Amino acid sequence: LILAWMGLEINTMAIIPLMAQQHHPRATEATTKYFLTQATAAAMILFASTMNAWTMGDWNINQISHPLATTTVTLALALKIGLAPMHFWLPEVLQGLSLTTGLVLSTWQKLAPFALILQISQNTNPALLTTLGVMSALVGGWGGLNQTQLRKLLAYSSIAHLGWMIIILQFMPALTLLNLTIYITMTSTMFLSLKIMASTKINSLALAWPKTPTLTTLIMLSLLSLGGLPPLTGFMPKWLILQELTKQDLPITATIMAMSALLSLFFYLR
């Protein structure tokens, strides 16, 4: 656990210079917000692991068994990746960054916390994971509705996708990994395409068709795939997750998740 904490701290410290590259008040504000949330989450992880070692006498991640410790670590990791209700920093931070750094924040920075979440998921309270998952899917859908900034839209899309990954974690970790891989691929496509077109607002996308028809088509397909529209790739993990949730006798949860996907799909279509 100490090594995991150390890795997360190094990870945070390494992206800070990238975020503060542009000498602009927005970039500085985003960097500060990111640093504070990540430092808080890392401190919570250290606190929980110390508490677990104190009560159980063990520093091993797989042996983390004290209920308070597992809950604290789960919440700290949720804060690290931006799951609702600890998501408030993510849209603000992403909005203040360049598209390249935004890409790193949305993809690469999620891997380390996810590796830890996967390792402790079997010891975590299932109700907590389900609540985080459902809330993130709903917040990701609702939050993106009246946004015109593409980076904020992608941040809310990130929150919604993380919700889908967390909800299935306790039943089928392999599905979570599949979802994460597909999400990273699609988000990279989006960020890189937007970078080529140098567009950060919805209205600048409206002028893109005469200039780059091929790239605009690709962006449209990527967005619909992110929304989970069949027959595109993004539909597959959602379908499998809904199927698994119904197998686990959670039809109401599955219905709420499907409805939240509709909210997301609405703003992707727009």
Which residues form the domain of 161?
125-269
Same structural domain, 56 and 146:
no
Same domain, 94 and 162: no
- Does residue 210 lie within any of the structural domains? yes
Split at pLDDT 50, 70, 90, the class of 220 is very high
- State the pLDDT at residue 256: 96
Would you say residue 205 lies in a domain?
A: yes
CA-based nearest residue to 164, from 256, 71, 269, 38: 256
Residues 18 and 71 in one domain: yes
Q: Is 22 helix (H, G, I), strand (E, B) or coil?
A: coil
Q: Are residues 260 and 129 in the same domain?
A: yes
pLDDT at 8 over 90: yes
Please indicate, yes or no, whether residues 146 and 225 belong to a single structural domain of this protein: yes
Whether the Cβ atoms of residue 152 and residue 95 lie closer than 8 Å to each other: yes
105 in any annotated domain: no
The backbone torsions φ and ψ at residue 235, rounded to the nearest 5 degrees and listed phi first, read: -75, -30
Which tens digit of pLDDT belongs to each residue from 37-67? Answer: 999 999 999 999 999 999 999 899 988 889 9
Q: Is residue 29 part of a domain?
A: yes
* Cα distance between residue 222 and residue 215, in whole Å: 10
Overall pTM surpassing 0.85 (yes/no): yes
Domain count, the chain: 2
Mean pLDDT of the region 82-105: 96
Asked if 199 and 88 sit in the same domain, the reply is no
User: What is the pLDDT of the chain when averaged over all its residues?
Assistant: 95
Look at residue 207 and tell me whether its pLDDT is greater than 90: no
Long-range contacts of range 159-162, CB-CB < 8 Å, 24 or more positions apart? 159/82, 159/83, 159/84, 159/87, 159/90, 160/136, 160/260, 160/261, 160/264, 161/226, 162/81, 162/82, 162/83, 162/110, 162/136
Same domain, 79 and 183: no
Asked if residues 258 and 181 have their Cβ atoms less than 8 Å apart, the reply is: no
The structure tokens listed for 252 are 């109401």
